[in-house]
Amino acid sequence: MGIRGRIKRWVETYKLYFDVTNLVPISRRYFIIGYFDGVITIQGLILGAYLSGKASSELIISAGIATAIALGISSGWGAYEAERMEQRVARKIQAKAMLKDVGGIIKRAHNFAIFISSLVHAVSPIIGAIFPILVFAFLPFKVALPISIGLGFGQLFAIGVFMGKTSGINIIFAGLRLTLAGVLTLVAVTLLSPTHIS
């Protein structure tokens, strides 16, 4: 079998994996949840650091990257455990329907779904968090702060638009709903900040 034949077979195999496990909507859902968590968490960290009165670009970059990595590991691990359970349940349902144990390509498809779901949920919060952090690497702190917060709002609006377009609802309304989550997060961080309370 030539290279083209191998590539075609590879594509067909993984397309089958996606179809068998309904992996596209699962991965999309994990990406949205992870990305949203990444943006919201970093916005809270940045504002919390600012309200402490001791924030600097170096602190936010260091703490932000550490937080993004920790969030990615937590999300990926959680997704792995959840999908491991769900895919096992799905295999049992398929086995019951077929009156026999499903193995071979079906088992590989479910293992593939576990891996991809976990990877997507691990990477997506890091992607969501990294852009607001990077602003502090290129601009002075006082300039970077509002730009970073604004960029976070822009990311939330964009992911909301994506959700609206995918689900067929008003994209502006969907974008504003997620942006509102960012606004409420910053309000809560401000009001509950120990520095603010004292």
**Residue at 100 is within a domain:** yes
Biggest alpha carbon distance in the chain? Answer: 73
Please report, for residues 64, 71, 111, 135, the alpha-carbon distance to residue 55 in angstroms, rounded to integers and kept in the order given.
12, 21, 44, 14
Confidence of residue 98 (pLDDT cuts 50, 70, 90): low
**Residue at 47 is within a domain:** yes
Rg of the chain taking only CA atoms, in angstroms: 21
Looking at the 3D structure of the chain, how many domains does it have? 1
* Domain assignment of residue 129, given as a range: 3-138
Q: What is the pLDDT of residues 111-161, one digit of tens each?
A: 888 888 889 999 999 999 999 999 999 999 989 999 999 999 999 999 999
**Residue at 133 is within a domain:** yes
**Residue at 37 is within a domain:** yes
Segment 2-14 mean pLDDT: 73
Give the model's pLDDT for residue 10: 76
**Residue at 68 is within a domain:** yes
Burial of 51 (0-12, 13-18, 19+ CB in 10 A): middle
Give the model's pLDDT for residue 100: 54
**Residue at 39 is within a domain:** yes
Which amino acid is it at 165? K
Evaluate if residue 198 carries a pLDDT over 60: no
- Closest by alpha carbon to 49, among 193, 197, 198? 193
- Closest by alpha carbon to 76, among 105, 129, 34, 15? 34
Give the model's pLDDT for residue 133: 94
Token pair 């600097």 in the structure block, residue: 56
Buried b (16+ CB within 10 A) or exposed e, 116-127: bbbebbbbbbbb
Q: What is the pLDDT of residues 41-67, one digit of tens each?
A: 999 899 888 888 888 889 999 999 999
Segment 101-118 mean pLDDT: 75
**Residue at 44 is within a domain:** yes
What's the helix, strand, coil split of the chain in %, to 5?
Answer: 90, 0, 10
**Residue at 146 is within a domain:** no
